[in-house]
A and B are shown apart, each in its own frame.
Chain A
Amino acid sequence: MSSSEERKLILKSSDNEEFVVKESSAVQCLTIKNLVEDRCVSDPIPLANVDSKILALVIEFMEKHAETTLSNSEKKEFDVEFVKKPFDDLLELILAANYLDFRELMDVLCNTCAKQMENWSVEEVREKFNIQNDYTVEEEKAARAENPWAFE
């Protein structure tokens, strides 16, 4: 029984940790896919903007979504659990997914962020995400007055 060798890639995080992944999973990241297609693959591939903690999480997501035996609803269930992380981590993951051009991960993460902002008042959102309100009173009034219908 022969099986074609699964092509593997080595990814190196910004803090020099190396991770072995299947090429078929890794090409979900278009940045990596482009490198592979242009045959610019050095071994290992250095990812200067992603540390090991985040890279490990990205790889976990990547491999789950590359599995052809899982149904869409099973993948969705995994996603729901995956995003139950502190907000700091989610934001770092967004930056990593953006850098790696990993569309599916981006969508899941950004959707989660958006859901956390929905149905809260402006003050509550500011508090939740530590957003400093740098509007002056007049400026904020003017901003609200631009779209009064959205604040009723």
Chain B
Amino acid sequence: MDSKENDYFSHLPDTLLFVIVSFLPFKEAVRTSVLARRWRNIWYAAKNIEFDEKFFVKNEESDENKAMQRMSFVSFIKHWMDNCVETDLHSFRLVFSHSEHHLSQIQDCIRFCVDRDVKALDLNFSDPTWNEDDLEQIPETFLELSSYDSLKKLESLKLSACNFRVFQFVTFSTLKNVYLGWIEFPGSCFKNLMSMCPSLETLNLKRCWNMENFYIDSEKLRVFVIDKCLGPEVIILNAPFLSFFQYSGPSVQLQIEYHPRMVEVILDFGLQTESNEEGEGDMLYNLLTEISSVRVLTICSYMLQYELTHFLCFLVDFLKLIVTADDPITLKPALENVKHLILKTELHINEFYGITFFLKNCPNLEILTIDLCTRTIFQDYKPPFTFEEHQFLTRFQCLRYRSTMCLKMVNVKGFKGETNELIVLSYLLRFGSALKYLSIGLSKEKGPNGIDMESTYRQNAEMAEPLPPILMAGPPSAENQRPRMSQLRLRLQQAEYLRAWIFAQRTSFCPQCYDNYEKEWTKLVAIEKTFLETDRKLIDHLCLCG
């Protein structure tokens, strides 16, 4: 039997192999050269070109070796240019740090691709060792992209450590996606960008500096990200089609108009290191009312502390609402569309009011992600209601929110097994009647003297993980649709076990805390008795239903 007959591709002419290969990622396309003789040069038809130094230059090598590796990287690029017969390319991506000695070859290559009407251009000259979080560090921009006529056909532009002046002279009527990283981006550049790119749908700015306040007024913008940039103090957003908004960096004043199509919002003032006693209290209030359509919401620790306090002061002073310690204020309208809430928190008592506020006001919550961070608590911050540390236990266990009952999945990241983490988990196990999935990601933080803590964290996590196979970390499947009676009982058992373990830990506290915890525990048991009847009815109801 002639096995060549069975070769599936034997029926296709080379031109169709070119098309198939053009859909492969670049590295995979190159690998086809070894399949058989016919395939030797098919890969030159690849239209998604990717020259990434990580395939050539290895970090562990000495500096001389790395210089040699860079030379072979550049000669590979030249070899490709000499052999490429394609007259048009889809995308071109170049990742090349420390490329000072190869500047003219890089420019040749960029020109080569631009002449072939490339639609997506991605140039990354940044150094992976640059510190994202240190906003004072201003690296040097490596290259300035010249103005080419054919750049006018671009649909997507991604530049890192690469400056550009093109926006001053040319209108980019087809440019939809722009990502700019590690460059200076003054207000004039921003204005040019917005006026020269009328079709802009995605704008992503990372680690830019010298920025001024933003006023975004666009009918087309769908995605807007400001990630760790230095400069703006005020951001005004009016983009009615915006569906994704992220702000990460030092705290700013955000003013946004009504955005009915907002799906995901990330508010991360994690880089704010100084206390901020003054603030416009209505910022959070406006924010939450104008993005009421949002489905995925990320809230940072700073918001849970300072912004919440400003917010409460606003409610009390201007809206004349009454706020009490025991019951967080109900937002009207509530964040009813929020299905996934991500809290970047330390689970500290100072954040307690903020955490309960969001849990209460997201009544249809299905997924809760607790992203544990450290060093986010401000020493000067005074929460609106002062609770003692040990009160975390009783107060948390007494929460009865609709969101807890709807929750289907809980993710924890950065878990260490500290007391408050276990309190929250035992609460969720106990009262999350719809809970099906729990996943715990361990913290990577080292102990004192840099010892590896993974096994300790893992042991602690095993305390919280329910007896298998009730709650699995993984995608939903048909079998797991409803918790059965036996599963519920087991889960309650687990919650009790965990609580008892937490209580047993009190012997490691100082004597004063020990006493306080004893008192809290007694209080908790008493309160629990009053809830027992309601809980029992609920379990019976759930079991009847399935």
Contacts and interface: CB of A to CB of B under 8 A. Distances in A.
Contact of A133 (B16, B33, B36): B36
A152 B3 CA distance: 30
Contacts of A114: 20-21, 23-24, 28
Nearest to B79: A146
A57 interface: no
A151 B36 CA distance: 15
B12 A95 contact: yes
Interface in B1-35: 3-4, 6-9, 11-12, 16, 19-25, 27-28, 30-35
A122 B9 contact: no
* Chain B contact surface mostly: helix
Given A95-B16, A117-B28, A87 B8 contact: yes
A20 interface: no
Contacts of B30: 147, 150
Contacts of B76: 147, 149
B33 A147 contact: yes
A118 interface: yes
A111 B35 CA distance: 19
B19 A150 contact: no
- Interface size bracket, A side: 35 or more
Contact of A149 (B16, B39, B56): B56
Nearest to B58: A152
A43 interface: no
Interface in A65-124: 87-88, 91-92, 94-95, 98, 106, 110-111, 113-115, 117-119, 122
B33 A110 contact: no
Nearest to B6: A130
Binding site of A, secondary structure by majority: helix, strand, loop or mixed? helix
A122 B35 contact: yes
Nearest to A118: B28
A150 B43 CA distance: 12
A4 interface: no
Contacts of A88: 8
A130 B39 CA distance: 14
A53 interface: no
A98 B23 contact: no
Interface residues of B, number: 32
A145 to B, nearest CB: 10
Contacts of B32: 117, 125
B37 A135 contact: yes
A110 B23 contact: yes
Contacts of A110: 16, 19-20, 22-23
B35 A126 contact: yes
A94 B8 contact: no
A35 interface: no
Interface in B61-97: 76
**Most-contacted residue by chain A among B9, B36, B38 (CB, 10 A):** B36
A112 B30 CA distance: 18
A67 to B, nearest CB: 24
A111 B23 contact: yes
B231 to A, nearest CB: 37
B40 to A, nearest CB: 6
A131 B9 contact: yes
A5 B338 CA distance: 47
A129 B8 contact: yes
A6 interface: no
A140 B8 contact: no
Contacts of B35: 122, 125-126, 131, 133
A131 B21 CA distance: 15
A134 interface: yes
Given A110-B19, A111-B23, A122 B7 contact: no
A144 B363 CA distance: 58
A117 B24 contact: yes
A98 B15 CA distance: 10
A61 to B, nearest CB: 17
A132 B36 contact: yes
Given A150-B27, A150-B55, A152-B55, A94 B36 contact: no
A113 B24 CA distance: 9
B478 to A, nearest CB: 19
Contacts of A140: 34
A97 to B, nearest CB: 10
A139 interface: yes
A25 B37 CA distance: 40
B55 A149 contact: yes
B540 to A, nearest CB: 40
Given A114-B24, A143-B33, A143-B40, A130 B3 contact: yes
Nearest first, the 6 A-B pairs at minimum CB distance are: A114-B23, A150-B30, A130-B6, A149-B55, A129-B8, A110-B20
10 contacts: A91-B8, A95-B11, A95-B12, A117-B24, A122-B31, A132-B3, A134-B37, A140-B34, A144-B34, A150-B30
Interface of B: 3-4, 6-9, 11-12, 16, 19-25, 27-28, 30-40, 55-56, 76
